[in-house]
Amino acid sequence: PKNGYREYEPMGPNDLQKKIWPPMQTRDGRPLRTGPGEMAGPEDTFIGYGRGWANVSNTPFREYKHFAHEGGIATPLIAHWPKGIGKKMRGKIDHQPGHLIDVMATCVEISGLQYPAKFGEYEIDPLEGVSLVPAFKGKDLERGDALYFEHHLNCAVRDGEWKLVRYGRTGRPATLQPWELYDLSKDRIESNNLAKEKPELAQALEKKWEAWAERAKVKPWPWTFDSD
């Protein structure tokens, strides 16, 4: 290595990582390694375990990658941080739901820095996630809002144990299916749709999702529907 674990020149602030398969590098010049024999590195490195690029089952959850049902979004997080995870939480399972957006908020808290409002002359959208550090200490996450999802018109919002989800399909024309409502505390496999039994709750969650979609620039949709 040229500089410790760095084997490549650091990327510039405007450089893009165009490769999708190794050899790849991190922005600071470290090699990205992959394969069953790779083990965790020094404490300032990251190791991730992900499902393969395939439409594989996520039994017992419903659906799989691409969808917003549990089979498409429910993925475990394995955290290794000996100096930061309390002894009573080591080797334990915490069932509090998290989201990819929480990773940035967690890194900001751990680093002791403040999330910037601007990058150069450009304004930055505020953080959407919350820090996972309280969970590392056996405490509740300080989440004040629901969790939101959208991928190729597959949409969902989870607020506590209630989840509103629907199918979507891109194409010409694009289509959206009716919303489905589930109580995840009793029905994690999303088999008992309660949307007709609790229409007011479904409408309230839909309103939350719509507000988020506008705020997060998910909408306006880039696809055309029959009604357009």
Q: What is the pLDDT of residues 74-113, one digit of tens each?
A: 988 988 888 899 889 999 999 999 999 999 999 999 999 9
Q: Which amino acid is at 134?
A: P
- Structurally, what CATH architecture does the domain formed by 145-228 represent? 2-Layer Sandwich (3.30)
pLDDT at res. 2: 47
pLDDT digits (tens, 9 = 90+) for 43-78: 777 777 665 555 667 889 999 888 999 999 998 898
pTM for this predicted structure: 0.80
Q: For the chain, which residues make up each domain, given as ranges? A: 95-144, 145-228
Contacts 24+ apart (CB under 8 A), 121-125: 125/216
Sheet of strand 180-183, all strands in order from the earlier edge strand to the far edge: 147-151, 154-159, 162-166, 180-183
Give pLDDT, residue 103.
95
pLDDT at 162: 98
Say if residues 183 and 194 touch (Cβ distance below 8 Å): yes
11, 15, 16, 45 from 19: Cα distances, Å = 13, 12, 9, 20
User: In this predicted structure, what is the pLDDT of residue 54?
Assistant: 55
Q: What average pLDDT is seen over the chain?
A: 88
Pull the structure tokens for residue 63. 């659906």
Residue 126 CA to residue 104 CA, distance in Å, equals 11
Residue 15, judged by CB atoms within 10 A of its CB (0-12, 13-18, 19+), counts as: exposed
Residue 196, pLDDT > 70, answer: yes
> In angstroms, rounded to a whole number, what is the distance separating the alpha carbons of residues 226 and 130?
38
Percent above pLDDT 70 for the chain: 92
